[in-house]
Amino acid sequence: MKKMVLGLTAAVVVSVVLLFLYLWRPTSGEVKPTEVRPETGYLAPDFTLRDLEGKEVKLSESRGQVVLVNFWASWCPPCRAEIPEIEAYYQKNGQKVVILGVDLQEDPARVKSFARTMNMHYPILLDSGQVAKQYRVRVIPTTFVVSPRGVISDVFTGPMSYSQIEKMVLKASLLK
């Protein structure tokens, strides 16, 4: 009888300790509003760039929506490979998700012609390199997925597939 009571007491103590550790564990997903870094779990740095029509687009104006910020260039083979996947996702989900294609340091006329040839309908922004530097982009394509709260939920380097985009957008949409 004493062994059973000791065993139950030990089980209760272990359960309480485990519950305590679970409930009060540090969470890396918590973000203070002033923490801005181009990293997962932090607020996305804001930027303003011009699109192919010369209109200014500001990232923070898309708060409340999931945003994909995709850094790319027309001369980049992996970027070319993912464009049809991004376009297909945009065609099906463009009303629910903001996709911003950020072209790096190319002539606007060349980018416009390339976008027409590739049948790109999502917004294309022109970056002189400042925003890529601000986001510490080292390789293209690189995509930052930003939650409706403005928090970076994923950073993906390399060409994305439709299903990868879908998974990352779903994850970001859950971080309201």
Q: Is the dihedral of CA 137, 27, 33, 175 positive or negative?
A: positive
Using 50, 70 and 90 to split pLDDT, how confident is the model at 175?
Answer: confident
The 8-class DSSP code of residue 64 comes to T
Of 157, 122, 162, 163, nearest to 40 by C-alpha is 157
Q: Is the dihedral of CA 49, 131, 122, 77 positive or negative?
A: positive
The residue extents of the domains of the chain are 36-173
Look up residue 84 and give its two tokens. Answer: 């049809």
Where is average pLDDT lowest: 28-32, 48-52, 68-72?
Answer: 28-32
Q: Does residue 108 carry a pLDDT above 60?
A: yes
Of 13, 17, 40, 23, nearest to 153 by C-alpha is 40
User: What's the CA angle centered on 95, arms 92 and 97, to 5 degrees?
Assistant: 85
What is 36-173's CATH number, 3.40.50.720, 1.10.10.10, 3.40.30.10, 1.10.1040.10? 3.40.30.10
pLDDT, tens digit, for every residue of 54-98? 999 999 999 999 999 999 999 999 999 999 999 999 999 999 999
